[in-house]
Amino acid sequence: MDIIFHHPTFETQSWLDGMQKQLPEARVRQWHPGDDQPADYALVWHPPVEMLSGRQALKGVFALGAGVDSILSKLQAHPDMLPNGVPLFRLEDTGMALQMQEYAVSQVLHWFRRFDDYQALKQQAKWLPLEDYRREDFTIGVLGAGVLGGKVAQSLAAWGFPVRCWSRSHKNYPGITSFAGHEQLGDFLNGTRVLINLLPNTPQTVGIINHQLLNQLANDAYVMNLARGVHLVENDLLAALESGKVKGAMLDVFAKEPLPVDSPLWKHPRIAITPHLAAVTRPQEAMEYIAKTIRQIENGESPSGQVSLHNGY
C-alpha cells in the first residue's frame, strides 16, 4: 500500500512517521513535483493539480481539514484533476467538533451574560448593573447542521437555550427544531437572536449572510461566522451593525485571509476577531481517523465521510 502526502504548512516528517506508525504495512512518502510513482491513497491540502491528475488507481483522497472547497474549486477549473470514481473524504470530526463547541458556547455565554456590554461600560469607567437577558428570548440558530453544526447545536441546547438549525435536509437532533430548504429559511431566521454559521462552502451558500438575511433576524441580534469568509457579505454586516439591527459579531473567517490591516472590521467596537482557529486539525486524531478509514476501504466496507462532488460536502 502506497500513500502520498502534501500539505503546504504541516510538519511533513511528523505526518510521514505518524501514518507509518498507524499503518505499518504502508509505504508513506511526501509527494514532490514529477512523482508519478504508484499511490493507493493521497493525503492533501491545497494539492497541486499534477499530484492527483491521472492517478486512476487511487482508492481514496483525504482532505486534511473539515472543508473540501479548495479541492472542489480546483476541480471546477481542472475537471480531470480527480479521476472519475476516486472517492474524496473529509475529516468528519477528529477533535474539531469539540473545539467548535468550546468556541461557540463560550461566545454565546459571553453575549448572554452581557460581558460585551460590561466591557463597553468599563471603557467609560461606568459602574452600571444591567438587566439580565432571558434564555427564552435568546434563540440560537445554527446555519448548517452537519457533523460540526449538529454538535454545536446540541452543546448549546444543553445550556437551556432554544436552539434551531437549518440545512439542506431535515435533521433529527433531540431538543432542536430543524428547518430545511430555502422555503423554510425565513421561518428559521424569524426570532433567531444568535446566528452561528457552519455551512459548507458551495456556490449556493456564497454570500448567503447578506442584507436580506440579516434583516430577518431578531432585533439586537448577534452573528458568529465559523465556516468560510465567503458566506458573509462584510459590508452588509457593517451596515447592520451601524443600523443597530445587529448588536455584535464574532468572526473567525474572512473573504481575504489574513484580514488586511486596512479592513474596517478591525476597528469596529462590536466585532471580535480570531485568526481562523475555531477548529484546527489535530494530527494524532486525524491520523487515527484516516488509518481507520483506509482499513475499512481495504476490507471492502463503505466508510463515512465521503464527499458528494455534486453537493460539495
Q: Which residues are catalytic?
A: 228, 276
Tell me how far apart the terminal alpha carbons of the chain are, to the nearest angstrom. 27
**Cβ–Cβ under 8 Å, residues 81 and 53:** yes
How far, in Å, are 16, 38, 96, 107, 290 from residue 100 at the CA level?
A: 27, 37, 6, 11, 21
Q: Nine-digit cell at 68?
A: 473540501
Contact 250, 221 (CB under 8 A): no
Residue 194 Cα to chain centre, angstroms: 17
- Nearest-angstrom CA–CA distance, 154 and 144: 13
**Whole-number Å distance between alpha carbons of 147 and 97:** 7
